[in-house]
Amino acid sequence: MQLRQLSIPDAYELTPTKREDDRGVFLEWYRFDDLEAAIGHPFTLRQANLSVSKRGVVRGIHYADIPPSQAKYVTVTHGAVLDYVIDIRVGSPAFGKWEAVRLDTETHRAVYLSEGLGHAFVALTDEATVAYLVSDVYNPGIEHGINPLDSEIGLVFPAEAGELLFSEKDREAPSLAEALAIEALPRWNEAVDYYQSLVEGS
């Protein structure tokens, strides 16, 4: 498996090695040891999620309070999406920046994003099926969103996605500036301290 650190700190793209023959394809889409070597601590799996989306569906930008938040390991099992990692940690050197990775069943890539980062994707095909491994169970009391159309963040949605579809909750979510003003965003120093606690506890 090949790992590439994204321009967003504490986020990685993972590309598995495919073994193909006349029967089909085999690959390892998750390796705990490779990921642990990159992030410096074990990835504790506490929940697995699956979403199926029509072409053009945008999900996110979602995040959770830290601690504990949710680290996510995301891949696609059918179709294709463009996956976005957004740094919303106040004080981070990459605050407000984002990077996108195409996830599809050709490359079988995955994206890992640490606790406190924002996450979104847009479905590029019908029945785009996204599988998430997450480090903690869903807790609605600490879950938040940022409007994916926030011009300050400036996510770029490809023409391949077609007409964009949003949930009412995501469309009505605050902008990055509004979330910052009400102190609803994770803080870089708290995130770094939390990551270090995971290293020390491993």
135 with 36: CB under 8 angstroms?
no
Rounded CA separation 110/112 (Å): 7
- The one catalytic residue in 30, 41, 78, 132 is 132
CB 158 within 8 A of CB 124: yes
Candidates 195, 196, 97; CA nearest to 154 is: 97
One DSSP character per residue, 167-180 reads -HHHHTSPPHHHHH
Q: Is 132 a catalytic residue?
A: yes
For 136-139, the CB contacts below 8 A with 24+ separation are: 136/44, 136/46, 136/47, 136/64, 136/68, 136/69, 136/70, 137/46, 137/47, 138/47, 138/49, 138/70, 139/64
Of these residues, 62, 84, 112, 195, which one is catalytic?
62
Q: How are beta strands 143-145 and 58-64 bridged, if at all?
A: antiparallel
Placement of tokens 């996605």 in the chain:
161
Q: How far apart are CA 155 and CA 57, in angstroms?
A: 14
CB 48 within 8 A of CB 131: yes
Annotation marks residue 73 as catalytic: no
Residues with a known catalytic role: 62, 132
